[in-house]
C-alpha cells in the first residue's frame, strides 16, 4: 500500500506543502493565476505548531476502514481501490459535518470548491492527489517537501527505513553515554534555543 | 468579540512583564484591536528555512533552499551552499541595519549644515564645545570663525565621510591604537560609510563573493562604518544641534499619558523634527488654544528612540518601547502620534483607526498609508511642528472618555548619561571607575541594547538580564528599547543600587547614580563605543582587552545585527537572546561563536535565558580580567 509517510522531526514549518497543495487543487494549477480564481483554492494539508515552535504537517491518512466513510449518510465518501484513497464526491456531500466529527486527525474542512457550481461548502479534504498518482506522480505536498518530512512510497518500505535507522542508532549508541543524533547538531541546537525562547514567550505551555 | 477577562489577563501576563503594559494589552484585546502578538500567533508556524538562514530569494533562478537534514538539495541553482546562503543573508541584514543608522546620521548632518548656513528654522548650534572638539579632529581651524562657520565646515567634513575616497573614516581614529591595529590586521578598517554598504550589496550578488568567511569579514567592516561612522555622526551631530545629554530625571511607562491634556506621542528615531515640536508645544498661543478646547495643557511623550533622544536631552517622559506603540494608541488617549522612521509598525494607522488618534508621517522616506503627511523640511520645521500641535489640540474634543484607560502609575527614572556626562560624574577622568574595576568592586560593564521581540515576553529579557548582571557587580549601560524596559522596571533609579551586589552598590551610592545607566537611543550605542575607547586609552590597552560585554536580549531588527557586529568587531563579546538566521550553517555558527576570537578577540553567543546569558557574560568578563592580571 502506498502512502504519504510523515517524518515529523524533519518538518521545519516552511509550509511549502500547503502552497503546493493549494496550487494542485486550483483550476489553473498555476501559482500566479490561482489567486484570481473564485472560489480560492486552499490547502488541504496543515502545518501547525505544537509546542516549542515544533511543527507537524497534518493531512488525511486515508484510513481503511475510514471512520468518515462509515458515518457519511449520503455515501459521499468513496474509496478508490487502486490507490486506497478516500475521495469526496462533492455533489453528494450535504455538509452535515458528521465525517469531521468522526475523523481521528481533525483534518476535514468545509470549503467551496470549483467542481460544485452552487455556493455551498463541502468536505474539501485531501484527495491524495489521485490525478497525479494516476499519472505516475507523487502527491504535490511530497514533491514540494525539501527536507524529507513528507515521503511517498510503499508504507512498509518507508517504515523499514525508519526501523533500520533506529537499529543503527541503537547499536551505535550502545555502551556510550552519547546518543547518536538523528538530527544534525546545528538543527538540534537551533531547536534547543527556540525551546528556550518559547519558555519565556507568549507561546509558553502552562 | 467578547473575551473572558480572566483569559485576557492570563494572556497579557504571558505577553508582557510590566503591569501597566499588561493592563493595556487586556484593553486592546477587549477593544478587538490587533497587536503584534496577535500577528505573531497568526504567523505560526514560521518557515524553518528562513529562520535557519538557508532560504535564498535573491535572483529568479530561485528561490532556493538547502535541506538542513542533508538528504535534499545541498546547493542553490547557482551552486551556493548553506554556508554561502547564510553568510549572504546575514550580510544583507547587517547592511540594511548599517544603512538605517547611517542615513539617519546623514539627515541630522544636513540639518546641521542648513543651520550653519542660516537656512533652517528654529535650530541653533547648542554644544559649541563638542563642535570645537570635532573641528580639531578634522584639523579645521576655529580662530576668528563664528560657530556657524565652524559648524558649516564640520558638517561638510562629516557629510564627506559618506562617500569619501580617502579610504578612512575620521571617527574610527577615536578607537584606541591597539584596536585600530587589530582592524588593520584583519583588513576590516572601514573606508567610508556608503561604500561599505554599497559593497555589501555588490558582494551578495550572484557570482561575486562565494567564500562565506570573506563575506562575513566585510560584514564586520560594514558594521564598523556604522558604529564608528554613521551612528557616531548621528550622535555627535545631534549633540551639537540639541546639546550633549546630562543626567536628568523623568517618568516612564504608559502612565505618562495624560487624562486631561492633549497627548502627542513622538515615535521613531530621528529627533530633528521632534526637537522643534518640543519648542512648538511651548507656544503660548497653542497653549491657549488647548485650554479653549477643554484640555489642561499639551503633553508630549516619547516612544522608542525619538523618545530616548528627547528624554536624554530634555527629560521628556517616555511612554514606552517598540511593543508599546500600539498599546499607547489603545489607551484611547492619544490625539496625535508623530512618526519619523524606523520600527514604526506599518499597521500603526490601522491601530489608530480604532480610536480618534491621528498618525502624522513626517519623513519622505517613511510614508504610511492612512497617515496624514506633513513633510519635515529644516527650513519650515517650526511651522510644521506648530501645525502638528494644532492638529492634536483640535483632535482633543474627539477623544471618547468612555474608551480611555490610562495606567495611573508612571515610574520615575534617570537618563542623560552620555559618555561625557559619565566622565564628568567621575570627575573628568575614568580613573575612579578603573580603580573600582581593578579592585573588583565592579567586575566590568555590559552594554544591554536592542529591541523588543514579541517572541519573548515584552521586556523580560532586558530586565531579567540587567538585574542578574548588577547582582554580580557588573555595571550595565543601556540604549534603545532595553533602556526603556529597565526604566519601566525601576532599574534606572539610584535606589536600584540596592538590587546590585555590594561592590557595585557602594560605587553607585557614592556617585548617586543608578546601577543601570541610560545612554540614549540606538544610534547612541556609539556612546558605549566611546566609553570603551576612552577607558581603554586611559589604560593604554585596546577595547578588546577590557572586561566588557554586550547583549541584545530581545532584538528583532537588522540594525541590531549591525550593532552586535560592531560591538564584536570592536572586541566586545556579545550575547544574543534571539537566534540570528545562521543555524543552517554549522560553519558560520562556528566562525561567529568561536573562530572570530582569533580575529577580533571577541565572539557572538546565543542564549535566550537571561540567567544563563549572565553566566556567559560574567565568564567572558572574568577571562578578560585574568588576561589583564586583575
Write out pLDDT tens, residues B521-540. Answer: 999 999 999 999 999 999 99
Closest CB to B69: pick one of A55, A148, A196: A148
C-alpha B173/C-alpha B218 separation (Å) is: 19
Q: Do B72 and A184 contact (CB within 8 A), yes or no?
A: no
* Cell 523588543 -> residue: B452
The predicted pLDDT at position A173 comes to 72
Are A74 and A116 contained in the same domain?
Answer: yes
Answer yes or no: is pLDDT of A74 > 80.
yes
Region of poorest pLDDT, from A150-164, B472-486, B495-509, B613-627: A150-164
Query: How many structural domains does chain A have?
Result: 2
Mean pLDDT of B393-401: 98
3-state secondary structure of B413: strand
The predicted pLDDT at position A1 comes to 82
Chain B positions touching A204 (Cβ under 8 A) are 14
Which domains are delineated in chain B?
Answer: 5-48 (no CATH), 82-242 (1.20.1270.30), 254-403 (3.40.50.2030), 414-628 (3.40.50.2030)
Answer yes or no: is pLDDT of B239 > 80.
yes
Q: Which grid coordinates are listed for B333?
A: 488617549
Are the Cβ atoms of A49 and B52 closer than 8 angstroms? no
Q: Catalogue the long-range contacts made by B588-591 (C-beta closer than 8 Å, 24 or more residues apart).
A: B588/B53, B588/B83, B588/B86, B588/B87, B588/B90, B588/B212, B588/B216, B589/A186, B589/A189, B591/B212, B591/B213, B591/B216
Are A110 and A178 contained in the same domain?
Answer: no
Q: Which grid coordinates are listed for A89?
A: 464526491
Are A89 and A49 contained in the same domain?
Answer: no
Are A86 and A144 contained in the same domain?
Answer: no
Chain A positions touching B606 (Cβ under 8 A) are 193
Closest CB to B454: pick one of A53, A186, A202: A202
Answer yes or no: is pLDDT of B621 > 90.
yes
3-state secondary structure of A28: coil
pLDDT tens digit sequence for B77-129: 999 999 999 999 999 999 999 999 999 999 999 999 999 999 999 999 999 99
Other CB atoms within a 10 A radius of the CB of residue A143 amount to 17
| pLDDT range class, residue B359, cuts 50, 70, 90 | very high
Q: Do B65 and B57 contact (CB within 8 A), yes or no?
A: no
B55 DSSP β-pair partners? B65
Answer yes or no: is pLDDT of A180 > 70.
no
Last residue of a domain, one of A125, A151, A167: A125
pTM: 0.94
Are the Cβ atoms of B45 and A187 closer than 8 angstroms? no
The predicted pLDDT at position A32 comes to 87
| pLDDT range class, residue B281, cuts 50, 70, 90 | very high
Nearest in space to A88 (alpha carbons), one of A120, A106, A62? A62
Are A149 and A201 contained in the same domain?
Answer: yes
Are A85 and A177 contained in the same domain?
Answer: no
Last residue of a domain, one of A83, A109, A125: A125
Top residue of A10, A12, A158, A203 to mutate, by most chain B CBs within 10 Å, is A12
Q: Do B401 and B259 contact (CB within 8 A), yes or no?
A: no
Answer yes or no: is pLDDT of A165 > 90.
no
Top residue of B37, B69, B70, B73 to mutate, by most chain A CBs within 10 Å, is B69
Are A135 and A54 contained in the same domain?
Answer: yes
Phi and psi angles of residue B446, each rounded to the nearest 5 degrees, phi first: -130, 130
Mean pLDDT of A142-156: 95
C-alpha B412/C-alpha B147 separation (Å) is: 37
Percent of residues, chain B, with pLDDT higher than 90: 99
Are the Cβ atoms of B69 and A204 closer than 8 angstroms? no
Are A154 and A195 contained in the same domain?
Answer: yes
Other CB atoms within a 10 A radius of the CB of residue B428 amount to 8
Mean pLDDT of B423-433: 94
Q: How far is A121 from chain B (nearest CA, A)?
A: 24
Are A185 and A139 contained in the same domain?
Answer: yes
Mean pLDDT of B276-296: 97
pLDDT tens digit sequence for A24-61: 999 999 998 898 899 999 999 999 999 999 999 999 99
| pLDDT range class, residue B546, cuts 50, 70, 90 | very high
C-alpha B479/C-alpha B251 separation (Å) is: 16
The predicted pLDDT at position B467 comes to 98
Whole domain around residue A155: which residue ranges? 1-58+127-206
Answer yes or no: is pLDDT of A141 > 80.
yes
The predicted pLDDT at position A137 comes to 96
Q: How far is B101 from chain A (nearest CA, A)?
A: 28
C-alpha A130/C-alpha A120 separation (Å) is: 23
Q: How far is B603 from chain A (nearest CA, A)?
A: 18
| pLDDT range class, residue A170, cuts 50, 70, 90 | confident
Nearest in space to B130 (alpha carbons), one of B117, B121, B142, B143? B142
Q: Do B38 and B326 contact (CB within 8 A), yes or no?
A: no
What residue in B sits closest to A56 (Cα-Cα)? B45
C-alpha B481/C-alpha B491 separation (Å) is: 14
The CATH number assigned to the domain holding A68 equals 3.30.70.20
Mean pLDDT of B333-361: 98
pLDDT tens digit sequence for B2-27: 899 999 999 999 999 999 999 999 99
Are A79 and A173 contained in the same domain?
Answer: no
Exposure pattern of B470-506 as b/e (b: 16+ CB <10 Å)? Answer: bebbbbbbbbbbbbbbbbbbbbbbeebbebbbebbbb
pLDDT tens digit sequence for B368-384: 999 999 999 999 999 99
Mean pLDDT of B254-282: 97
The dihedral through the CA atoms of A71, A77, A78, A80 has a sign that is: negative
Chain A positions touching B579 (Cβ under 8 A) are 190, 193-194, 197
Percent of residues, chain B, with pLDDT higher than 70: 100
Mean pLDDT of B588-603: 98
Report the C-alpha dihedral over residues B186, B192, B195, B196, rounded to 10 degrees. 40
Q: Which residues contact B154 (CB under 8 A, 6 or more apart)?
A: B112, B131, B134, B135, B138, B140, B240
The predicted pLDDT at position B249 comes to 97
Other CB atoms within a 10 A radius of the CB of residue B316 amount to 26
Are the Cβ atoms of A193 and B579 closer than 8 angstroms? yes
Mean pLDDT of chain B: 97
Q: Do A73 and A96 contact (CB within 8 A), yes or no?
A: yes
Q: Do A39 and A111 contact (CB within 8 A), yes or no?
A: yes
Q: Do B212 and B591 contact (CB within 8 A), yes or no?
A: yes
Helix axes B558-569, B82-116, angle to 10 degrees: 90
For chain B, list residues whose CB is within 8 angstroms of any CB belonging to chain A: 11, 14-15, 37, 40-41, 44-52, 55, 65, 67-73, 454-457, 460-461, 577-579, 583-586, 589, 606-610
Chain A positions touching B9 (Cβ under 8 A) are none
Answer yes or no: is pLDDT of B274 > 70.
yes
The CATH number assigned to the domain holding A146 equals 3.30.70
- Please state whether beta strands B548-552 and B444-448 pair in parallel, antiparallel, or not at all (unpaired): parallel
Answer yes or no: is pLDDT of A176 > 70.
no
The predicted pLDDT at position B127 comes to 98
Answer yes or no: is pLDDT of A177 > 70.
no
The predicted pLDDT at position B1 comes to 73
Q: How far is CA A129 from CA A135, A189, B64, B336, B469, in A?
A: 10, 36, 25, 54, 57
Are A66 and A141 contained in the same domain?
Answer: no
* Cell 566585510 -> residue: B218
Last residue of a domain, one of A91, A125, A159: A125
Phi and psi angles of residue B504, each rounded to the nearest 5 degrees, phi first: -60, -40
The predicted pLDDT at position A169 comes to 77
Are A114 and A142 contained in the same domain?
Answer: no
Mean pLDDT of B211-228: 98
The predicted pLDDT at position A181 comes to 63
Mean pLDDT of B244-265: 98
Amino acid at each position: 500500500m502506498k502512502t504519504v509517510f510523515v517524518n515529523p522531526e524533519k518538518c521545519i514549518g516552511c509550509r511549502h506543502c500547503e502552497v503546493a497543495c493549494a496550487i494542485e487543487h486550483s483550476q489553473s494549477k498555476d501559482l500566479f493565476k490561482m489567486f484570481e480564481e473564485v472560489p480560492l483554492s486552499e490547502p488541504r494539508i496543515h502545518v501547525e505548531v505544537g509546542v516549542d515552535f515544533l511543527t507537524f504537517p497534518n493531512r488525511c491518512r486515508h484510513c481503511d476502514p475510514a471512520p468518515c466513510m462509515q458515518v457519511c449518510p449520503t455515501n459521499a465518501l468513496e474509496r478508490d481501490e487502486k490507490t486506497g484513497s478516500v475521495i469526496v464526491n462533492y455533489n453528494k456531500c450535504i455538509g452535515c459535518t458528521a465525517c469531521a466529527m468522526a475523523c481521528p486527525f481533525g483534518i476535514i474542512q468545509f470549503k467551496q470548491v470549483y467542481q460544485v457550481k452552487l455556493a455551498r461548502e463541502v468536505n474539501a479534504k485531501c484527495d491524495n492527489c489521485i490525478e497525479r498518482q494516476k499519472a505516475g506522480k507523487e502527491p504535490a505536498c511530497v514533491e514540494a517537501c525539501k527536507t524529507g518530512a513528507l515521503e511517498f512510497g510503499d508504507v512498509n518500505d518507508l517504515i523499514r527505513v525508519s526501523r533500520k535507522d533506529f537499529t543503527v542508532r541503537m547499536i551505535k549508541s550502545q555502551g556510550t553515554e552519547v546518543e547518536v543524533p538523528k538530527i544534525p547538531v546545528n538543527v538540534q541546537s537551533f531547536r534547543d534555543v527556540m525551546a528556550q525562547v518559547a519558555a519565556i514567550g507568549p507561546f509558553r505551555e502552562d | 468579540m467578547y473575551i473572558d477577562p480572566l483569559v485576557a489577563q492570563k494572556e497579557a501576563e504571558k505577553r508582557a512583564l510590566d503591569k501597566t503594559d499588561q493592563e493595556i494589552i487586556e484593553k486592546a484585546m477587549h477593544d478587538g484591536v490587533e497587536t503584534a502578538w496577535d500577528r505573531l500567533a497568526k504567523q505560526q508556524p514560521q518557515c524553518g528555512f528562513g529562520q535557519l538562514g538557508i532560504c535564498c530569494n535573491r535572483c529568479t533562478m530561485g528561490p532556493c533552499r538547502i535541506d538542513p537534514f542533508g538528504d535534499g538539495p545541498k546547493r542553490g541553482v547557482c551552486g551556493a551552499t548553506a554556508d554561502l546562503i547564510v553568510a549572504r543573508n546575514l550580510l544583507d541584514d547587517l547592511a540594511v541595519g548599517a544603512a538605517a543608522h547611517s542615513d539617519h546620521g546623514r539627515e541630522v548632518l544636513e540639518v546641521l549644515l542648513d543651520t550653519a548656513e542660516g537656512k533652517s528654522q528654529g535650530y541653533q548650534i547648542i554644544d559649541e564645545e563638542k563642535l570645537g572638539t570635532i573641528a580639531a579632529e578634522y584639523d579645521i581651524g576655529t580662530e576668528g570663525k563664528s560657530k556657524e562657520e565652524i559648524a558649516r565646515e564640520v558638517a561638510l567634513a562629516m557629510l564627506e565621510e559618506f562617500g569619501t575616497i580617502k579610504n578612512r573614516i575620521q571617527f574610527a581614529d577615536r578607537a584606541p591604537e591597539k584596536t585600530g591595529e587589530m582592524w588593520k590586521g584583519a583588513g576590516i578598517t572601514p573606508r567610508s560609510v556608503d561604500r561599505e554598504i554599497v559593497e555589501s550589496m555588490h558582494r551578495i550578488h550572484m557570482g561575486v563573493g562565494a567564500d562565506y568567511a570573506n563575506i562575513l569579514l566585510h560584514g564586520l567592516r560594514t558594521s564598523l562604518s556604522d558604529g564608528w561612522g554613521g551612528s557616531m555622526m548621528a550622535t555627535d551631530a545631534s549633540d551639537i544641534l540639541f546639546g550633549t545629554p546630562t543626567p536628568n530625571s523623568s517618568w516612564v511607562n504608559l502612565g505618562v499619558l495624560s487624562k486631561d491634556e492633549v497627548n502627542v506621542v513622538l515615535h521613531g528615531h530621528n529627533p530633528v523634527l521632534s526637537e522643534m515640536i518640543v519648542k512648538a508645544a511651548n507656544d503660548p498661543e497653542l497653549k491657549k488654544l488647548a485650554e479653549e478646547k477643554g484640555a489642561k495643557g499639551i503633553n508630549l511623550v516619547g516612544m522608542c528612540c525619538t523618545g530616548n533622544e528627547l528624554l536624554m536631552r530634555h527629560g521628556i517622559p517616555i511612554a514606552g518601547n517598540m511593543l508599546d506603540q500600539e498599546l499607547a494608541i489603545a489607551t484611547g488617549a492619544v490625539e496625535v502620534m508623530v512618526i519619523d522612521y524606523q520600527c514604526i509598525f506599518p499597521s500603526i494607522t490601522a491601530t489608530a483607526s480604532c480610536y480618534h488618534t491621528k498618525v502624522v508621517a513626517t519623513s519622505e522616506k517613511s510614508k504610511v498609508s492612512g497617515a496624514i503627511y506633513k513633510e519635515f523640511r529644516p527650513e519650515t520645521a517650526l511651522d510644521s511642528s506648530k501645525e502638528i500641535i494644532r492638529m492634536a489640540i483640535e483632535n482633543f474634543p474627539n477623544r471618547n472618555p468612555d474608551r480611555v484607560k490610562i495606567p495611573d502609575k508612571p515610574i520615575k527614572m534617570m537618563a542623560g548619561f552620555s559618555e561625557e556626562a559619565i566622565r564628568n560624574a567621575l570627575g573628568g577622568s575614568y580613573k575612579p571607575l578603573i580603580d573600582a574595576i581593578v579592585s573588583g568592586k565592579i567586575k566590568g560593564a555590559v552594554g544591554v541594547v536592542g529591541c523588543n521581540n514579541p517572541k519573548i515576553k515584552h521586556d523580560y529579557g532586558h530586565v531579567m538580564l540587567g538585574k542578574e548582571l548588577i547582582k554580580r557587580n557588573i555595571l550595565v549601560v543601556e540604549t534603545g528599547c532595553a533602556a526603556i524596559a529597565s526604566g519601566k522596571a525601576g532599574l534606572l533609579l539610584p535606589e536600584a543600587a540596592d538590587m546590585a551586589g555590594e561592590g557595585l552598590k557602594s560605587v553607585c551610592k557614592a556617585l548617586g547614580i543608578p546601577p543601570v545607566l541610560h545612554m540614549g537611543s540606538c544610534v547612541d550605542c556609539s556612546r558605549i563605543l566611546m566609553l570603551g575607547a576612552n577607558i581603554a586609552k586611559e589604560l593604554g590597552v585596546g577595547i578588546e582587552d577590557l572586561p566588557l560585554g554586550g547583549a541584545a536580549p530581545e532584538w528583532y531588527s537588522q540594525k541590531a545585527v549591525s550593532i552586535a557586529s560592531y560591538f564584536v568587531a570592536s572586541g566586545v563579546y556579545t550575547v544574543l537572546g534571539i537566534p540570528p538566521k545562521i543555524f543552517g550553517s554549522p560553519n558560520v555558527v562556528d566562525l561567529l561563536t568561536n573562530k572570530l576570537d582569533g580575529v577580533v578577540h571577541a565572539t557572538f553567543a546565543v542564549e535566550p535565558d537571561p540567567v544563563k546569558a549572565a553566566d556567559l557574560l560574567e565568564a567572558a568578563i572574568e577571562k578578560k580580567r585574568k588576561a589583564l592580571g586583575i
